[in-house]
Amino acid sequence: MLPNTGKLAGCTVFITGASRGIGKAIALKAAKDGANIVIAAKTAQAHPKLPGTIYTAAEETYTIAKYGMSMCVLGMAEEFKGEIAVNALWPKTAIHTAAMDMLGGSGVESQCRKVDIMADAAYCIFKKPKSFTGNFIIDENILKEEGIKNFDVYAVTPGHPLLPDFFLDEQPAMVTKKADSYGAVPELKEEKTQPPPKARSGAVEETFRIVKDSLSDDIVKATQAVYQFELSGEDGGTWFLDLKSKGGNVGYGEPSDQADVVMSMSTDDFVKMFSGKLKPTMAFMSGKLKIKGNMALAIKLEKLMNQMNSKL
């Protein structure tokens, strides 16, 4: 891991979202340098499933820094140019936090890195001059620039395939390098006969037609999941996307195999999501998309949607 150098000694670091997880880890890293800590967080009372409050974090005398949403970075970097540096920091893989446990379910931690990697990456940014501003930074990339080569030290389960982050299109090298040894790319199942689809028309049917034309054995191997869509509104109903059977398949109605993930949303939002106009993560967080089943497999579908965008 990246060692502390003391460069932040005497600096004041104001950090929001400081009660737990990534924010708290960044606080710990900065405080070890002797930084003055200012903590801001909305959690004042303990949550039954999300441990940590602003008071328990303050008891450890450490500070945190919260990166802003990417959409704010460019404008704020220009507005405060020469005075305050503004950068966005994103993880390359899923980071193990209490929230990730809630979303991903049992066993998801083995596919995650520890919060320490974000703390080390943020520390790298803190050490840079104010002229380093308006950048979009991935944790692994900036640490490589600092000479870090062994990233297994950041893994919850060293050597295990890692789950890619929600917001990045690229796959971590460890995913493709280690997948075979962990059975992440199982043998193809023989294609099962699906019930004949009913005659449909409209934007949803056209979207599924394009998806079907884009399927390949490689996509099926990389995904290995059956998705069911419960769509409300015009041209809605139950649809499926089978990425387990050889070659893959789509259609109207329920899949012949039990769905690994069931997604419920309106037909309008479904079309927007597959055409790249609505991020699945944003749809989920705003309540437009409801998900039941394996969250890790739901995340895999987002990468496939990104591949579809240019065709929809």
Least confident of 21-30, 208-217, 220-229, 264-273: 21-30
Note whether 134 and 117 are within 8 A (CB).
no
Task: Give CA–CA dist 75/276, Å, rounded.
Answer: 23
* Residue 16 predicted with pLDDT over 80: no
* Residue 30 predicted with pLDDT over 80: yes
Set 62, 67, 123, 227: catalytic member = 62
Mean pLDDT of the chain: 76
Task: Give CA–CA dist 308/312, Å, rounded.
Answer: 6
Question: If DSSP codes are grouped into helix, strand and coil, which group holds residue 269?
Answer: helix
pLDDT tens sequence across 142-170: 999 999 999 999 999 999 988 877 655 44
Instruction: Report which DSSP code applies to 165.
Output: P
pLDDT tens sequence across 66-95: 333 565 777 788 888 899 998 888 889 989
The position carrying tokens 């620039």 is 145
Query: At residue 152, what are phi and psi to the nearest 5 degrees?
Result: -65, -25
Q: Which tokens belong to 82?
A: 């020469």
Q: Give the list of residues 6+ apart from residue 38 with CB closer than 8 angstroms, or none.
A: 12, 13, 14, 15, 63
pLDDT tens sequence across 274-297: 888 888 777 776 778 888 887 777
pLDDT tens sequence across 235-259: 889 999 999 988 899 999 999 989 9
Concatenated DSSP letters for 64-113? Answer: ---PPPHHHHHHHHHHTTTT----EEE-SB-B--HHHHHHH-TTGGGG-B
* Catalytic site includes residue 55: no
H helix intervals, the chain: 21-31, 54-59, 70-79, 98-104, 116-126, 139-145, 173-178, 203-214, 217-223, 267-274, 280-285, 295-308
Per-residue pLDDT, 159: 92
